[in-house]
Structure 1
Amino acid sequence: MGSFFNWWSTRYTTEVRYPKESALVATKEQHSNTTSVFLRDFVERRCPSLYSEFRPAWWLPNGHMQTLYCVLGDFSARDKVVYKRTLLRLLDGGTVGLDFTPVDDSHLPSDTPIIVVLHGLTGGSYESYVRAILSPACMPVHQGGLGYRAVVVNFRGCAGVPVTSPQLYSAGHTDDLRQALFYISHRYPEAPLLGLSFSLGANVMTRYVAEEGEHSRLKSACVLGCPWNLAANASKLLATHIGRHVYSKGMGRNLVNLLKRHVGTFAPDHEVAKAAAATIALTKPTIDMFDEHFTKIGGGSSPPWPFASANDYYEYSSSHNVLNKIKIPLLAINAADDPVVQDVPMDAEGNGWVIMALTPCGGHLGWFESDEGWGQIKRWIKRPVFEWLRATGEDFVRSPPHWRPLHEEDGFLKEVGIDRLGCKELDGNDIIVGTEGEAGLLAGL
Structure 2
Amino acid sequence: MGSALGKLGNPKAFFSARPAYLPLKQPAASENTSLRALLESHCPSVLLPFRPAWWLFNGHLQTLYAVLGDFSVVDHVAYDRRLLQIKDGGTLGLDFTPPASDRVLPDDTPIIVVLHGLSGGSQESYVRAILAPAVMSTHQGGLGYRAVVVTFRGCAGVPLTSPQLYSSCHTDDFRQAVLYISHRYPRAPLLGLGFSLGANVLTRYVAEEGEECRLVSACALACPWDLAANSDSLHATWLSRNTYAKAMGGNLKRMVSQHNDSIMKFPDSRLAQSLPELFSRKSLTLGQFDNLITIHAGGTSPPFPFKTPHHYYTYAASHQVLGDVRIPFLAINSDDDPIVKYVPVYETDNEWVILVVTRGGGHMGWFGTTGNVTRRWMTQPALEWFRATVEKIDVPRRAVRNIRIVDGWLVESGREHLGCRDNGEGGKIEGGVIQKGMLAGL
TM-score, with structure 1 as normaliser: 0.95
Equivalent residue letter for 2:361 = G
Equivalent residue letter for 1:222 = C
Question: Which residue of the partner structure matches residue 409 of structure 2?
Answer: 412
Distance across 1 between alignment mates of 2:103 and 2:326: 33
Q: Please report how far the alpha carbon of residue 427 of structure 1 lies from its aligned counterpart in structure 2 after TM superposition.
A: 2.4
Superposed counterparts of 1:31-430, under 5 Å: 31=27, 33-104=29-100, 107-266=104-263, 267-373=266-372, 376-430=373-427
Q: Please report how far the alpha carbon of residue 428 of structure 1 lies from its aligned counterpart in structure 2 after TM superposition.
A: 2.6
Equivalent residue letter for 2:282 = T
Distance across 1 between alignment mates of 2:347 and 2:422: 37
Equivalent residue letter for 1:339 = P
Q: Please report how far the alpha carbon of residue 106 of structure 1 lies from its aligned counterpart in structure 2 after TM superposition.
A: 5.6
Secondary structure at the aligned position of 1:349 is classed as coil
Equivalent residue letter for 1:325 = D
Contact kept, 8 Å, 1:324 with 1:348, in 2: the verdict is no
Distance across 1 between alignment mates of 2:196 and 2:114: 11
Equivalent residue letter for 1:293 = L
Distance across 1 between alignment mates of 2:277 and 2:25: 56
Contact kept, 8 Å, 1:275 with 1:297, in 2: the verdict is no
Distance across 1 between alignment mates of 2:316 and 2:279: 23
Contact kept, 8 Å, 1:210 with 1:323, in 2: the verdict is yes
Equivalent residue letter for 2:395 = R
Q: Please report how far the alpha carbon of residue 367 of structure 1 lies from its aligned counterpart in structure 2 after TM superposition.
A: 0.4
Q: Please report how far the alpha carbon of residue 348 of structure 1 lies from its aligned counterpart in structure 2 after TM superposition.
A: 4.7
Q: What CA deviation, in whole Å up to 9, does each residue of 1:132-184 have, x standing for no partner? A: 11011101111110000000000000010000001010011000000001100
Q: Structure 1 residues 247 and 62 mapped into 2: Cα distance closer, same or farther (>3 Å)?
A: same
Q: What CA deviation, in whole Å up to 9, does each residue of 1:52-86 have, x standing for no partner? A: 11110000000000000000000000001010001
Secondary structure at the aligned position of 2:271 is classed as helix
Number of aligned pairs?
A: 433
Contact kept, 8 Å, 2:24 with 2:393, in 1: the verdict is yes
Question: Which residue of the partner structure matches residue 428 of structure 2?
Answer: 431
Q: Please report how far the alpha carbon of residue 429 of structure 1 lies from its aligned counterpart in structure 2 after TM superposition.
A: 4.5
Q: Please report how far the alpha carbon of residue 347 of structure 1 lies from its aligned counterpart in structure 2 after TM superposition.
A: 2.4
Distance across 2 between alignment mates of 1:205 and 1:34: 32
Distance across 2 between alignment mates of 1:330 and 1:66: 25
Q: What CA deviation, in whole Å up to 9, does each residue of 1:303-323 have, x standing for no partner? A: 111111111111111101000
Mean CA deviation greater in 100-109 or 337-346: 100-109
Equivalent residue letter for 2:226 = N
Q: Please report how far the alpha carbon of residue 386 of structure 1 lies from its aligned counterpart in structure 2 after TM superposition.
A: 1.0
Q: Please report how far the alpha carbon of residue 268 of structure 1 lies from its aligned counterpart in structure 2 after TM superposition.
A: 1.6
Contact kept, 8 Å, 2:23 with 2:29, in 1: the verdict is no
Secondary structure at the aligned position of 1:350 is classed as coil
Mean CA deviation greater in 157-166 or 264-273: 264-273
Q: Please report how far the alpha carbon of residue 50 of structure 1 lies from its aligned counterpart in structure 2 after TM superposition.
A: 0.9
Secondary structure at the aligned position of 2:82 is classed as strand
Q: Please report how far the alpha carbon of residue 277 of structure 1 lies from its aligned counterpart in structure 2 after TM superposition.
A: 3.2
Q: Please report how far the alpha carbon of residue 237 of structure 1 lies from its aligned counterpart in structure 2 after TM superposition.
A: 1.1
Distance across 2 between alignment mates of 1:264 and 1:309: 27
Q: What CA deviation, in whole Å up to 9, does each residue of 1:88-122 have, x standing for no partner? A: 00000000000000112763222110000000000
Q: Please report how far the alpha carbon of residue 371 of structure 1 lies from its aligned counterpart in structure 2 after TM superposition.
A: 2.4
CA RMSD across the alignment: 1.3
Equivalent residue letter for 2:239 = I
Equivalent residue letter for 1:248 = A
Mean CA deviation greater in 223-232 or 344-353: 344-353
Contact kept, 8 Å, 1:337 with 1:363, in 2: the verdict is yes
Contact kept, 8 Å, 1:124 with 1:152, in 2: the verdict is yes
Equivalent residue letter for 2:33 = V
Secondary structure at the aligned position of 1:355 is classed as strand
Distance across 1 between alignment mates of 2:343 and 2:107: 38
Distance across 2 between alignment mates of 1:396 and 1:192: 12
Distance across 1 between alignment mates of 2:240 and 2:249: 12
Contact kept, 8 Å, 1:348 with 1:356, in 2: the verdict is no
Secondary structure at the aligned position of 2:24 is classed as strand
Contact kept, 8 Å, 2:115 with 2:202, in 1: the verdict is yes
Q: What CA deviation, in whole Å up to 9, does each residue of 1:249-292 have, x standing for no partner? A: 11010111111111322212222211233223223211011111
Contact kept, 8 Å, 1:198 with 1:224, in 2: the verdict is yes
Contact kept, 8 Å, 1:23 with 1:352, in 2: the verdict is yes
Distance across 2 between alignment mates of 1:280 and 1:35: 61
